[in-house]
Amino acid sequence: MTEITKVPGFSLARQNALLKVKLLQVCSELIDRGMFILGDNVKHLEKELAAYCGARYAIGVGNGSDALYLALLAAGVGPGDEVITTPFTFYATAGAIERVGAKPVFTDIEKDTFNIDPNLIEAKITGKTRAIIPVHLYGCPADMGPIVELAGKYQLKVIEDGAQSLGALYKGRKVGAIGDMGCLSFFPTKNLGAFGDGGAVLTSDPELAEKVRMLRVHGAKTKYYHELPGCNSRLDELQAAILRVKMPHLEGWNLRRREIASRYRAKLSCLEEKGILKLPKIPAYAEHVFHQYTIQLDNRDGLQDYLKQHGVGSTVYYPVPLHLQKVFQPLGYKEGDFPVAEAACREVLSLPMFPELTDDEVEHVSNLIINYFNGKRS
């Protein structure tokens, strides 16, 4: 075995090298064709995404953040409304709520999944609540059953944030196609990543689909005839062409991610048994796609520094919960309001995770972690 001196947290170069010939071919064809906005590749990708996820429609948009924004607009959410979501996620989830003029209402998360706790949602519902945005964080599906049931009871829209979870299953159904709408991101590091920004909105509601299509092109159904106050948020033809090259590999890549997760668990379970750290849990209802492999421990920063010293990349997703971010100070939240999310921000660490990671590299990273806690540090 070749000595391993460096393990990146993520590597696009390895994946691109495997697909380089085909990727260059589609880029060359696109240049020759000269059609760069909402062309055939976007149309075909939309059909392929919808079929893959089990939705009637997929609408390609500029990025995952815009997908959330446009979904909220299509759902009629606006000033004076409230939307319930998690404080333990990327800014874009709550940022989209503020972009439409509504108020994010945060709800704490489950300890094991890091996803919004369905048991705490009903207490946050008021006469102003219009929607719930569950986030399928790290590739693990949120518990959608009780969320959809609550939404039906109070006539709320459910907009899934599936930016990290394309291909994950909830009770056998692809996430993103369970609520009224689902939002995807094709940021380069996602399980299905473009060569820049990209996103999509999934839905099986024809009226919502039509609204999103109009909103992404300045609110127009017919060019130069504007019916809604939309914006410019279209998935580029180039990104769609690249995603179509990658999409047939997605299931295999997700399977490899699960294999890597199993290897981490097999090696690191000895530390979990001693109460030193917590490994990711997979709920009985879920098939995880491990966008991230995230462990939880008290001395997170010490371990991260040690791994960095030994050439291993790791990342904290996320160091500060949204309710304590400066931008959301006007909402009036304070430290201690969501203790599970706050503890997660202090304790989570995501280890190297991407399909091209080798078994030897997983072994190397795992051994370093074990050595760190066994005092065998070099």
| DSSP secondary structure of 260-320 | HHHHHHHHHHHHHHTTSEEPPP--TTEE---SSEEEEETTHHHHHHHHHHTTB--B-S-SS
Per-residue burial over 335-348, b = 16 or more CB atoms within 10 Å of its CB, e = otherwise = eeebebbbbbbebb
The answer, yes or no, to whether residue 378 has pLDDT greater than 80, is: no
For residue 241, give the 3-state DSSP assignment.
Answer: helix
Closest of 136, 139, 354, 141 to residue 253, by C-alpha = 354
Q: What is the DSSP string of 47-87?
A: HHHHHHHT-SEEEEES-HHHHHHHHHHHTT--TT-EEEE-S
Side by side, which strands form the sheet with 286-287? 173-174, 169-170, 286-287
Q: Give residue 99's pLDDT.
A: 98
In this structure, the strands spanning 225-226 and 129-133 are unpaired
Superfamily of domain 250-374: Aspartate Aminotransferase, domain 1 (3.90.1150.10)
pLDDT, mean of residues 20-42: 95
pLDDT, mean of residues 25-32: 95
Type of residue numbered 299: N
The answer, yes or no, to whether residue 2 has pLDDT greater than 80, is: no
The answer, yes or no, to whether residue 231 has pLDDT greater than 80, is: yes
d(CA 35, CA 40): 9
Q: Give residue 375's pLDDT.
A: 82
pLDDT tens figures, 290-337 = 999 999 999 999 999 999 999 999 999 999 999 999 999 999 999 999
Q: Is-contact 176 183, C-beta < 8 A?
A: yes
d(CA 167, CA 248): 12
pLDDT, mean of residues 136-162: 98
Q: Give residue 353's pLDDT.
A: 98
Q: What is the DSSP string of 72-141?
A: HHHTT--TT-EEEE-SSS-HHHHHHHHHTT-EEEE--B-TTT-SB-GGGTGGG--TTEEEEE-B-GGGPP
Q: Give residue 221's pLDDT.
A: 94
The answer, yes or no, to whether residue 262 has pLDDT greater than 90, is: yes
**What share of the chain has pLDDT > 70, as a percent?**
99
pLDDT tens figures, 36-93 = 999 999 999 999 999 999 999 999 999 999 999 999 999 999 999 999 999 999 999 9
Q: Give residue 1's pLDDT.
A: 54
Burial of 153 from C-beta contacts in 10 A (0-12 / 13-18 / 19+): exposed
Q: Give residue 376's pLDDT.
A: 67
For residue 351, give the 3-state DSSP assignment.
Answer: strand
d(CA 95, CA 163): 14
Q: Which residue has the tokens 């946050």?
A: 124
318 preceded by a cis bond (ω within 30 of 0): yes
- Tell me 140's DSSP state: P
pLDDT, mean of residues 113-123: 98
pLDDT, mean of residues 151-168: 98
Q: Is-contact 328 104, C-beta < 8 A?
A: yes
Which residues on adjacent β-strands are paired with residue 135? Answer: 161
- pLDDT, averaged across the chain: 97
Q: Which residue has the tokens 């518990």?
A: 143
Which residues on adjacent β-strands are paired with residue 159? Answer: 181
pLDDT, mean of residues 137-146: 98
For residue 218, give the 3-state DSSP assignment.
Answer: coil
The answer, yes or no, to whether residue 377 has pLDDT greater than 70, is: no
For residue 282, give the 3-state DSSP assignment.
Answer: coil
Burial of 127 from C-beta contacts in 10 A (0-12 / 13-18 / 19+): exposed
Q: Is-contact 307 365, C-beta < 8 A?
A: yes
Domain ranges of the chain: 12-248, 250-374
Domain spanning 12-248: CATH 3.30.420.40: no
**Lookup: tokens for 118:** 């369905």
Cα→Cα distances 249→17, 21, 173, 192, 340, Å: 14, 15, 19, 9, 36
Band of the pLDDT at 351, cuts 50, 70, 90? very high
**Lookup: tokens for 122:** 């009903």
**Lookup: tokens for 129:** 């609540």
- Tell which phi-psi region holds residue 28, choosing left (phi > 0), alpha (psi between -120 and 50) or beta: alpha
pLDDT tens figures, 203-218 = 999 999 999 999 999 9
For residue 10, give the 3-state DSSP assignment.
Answer: coil
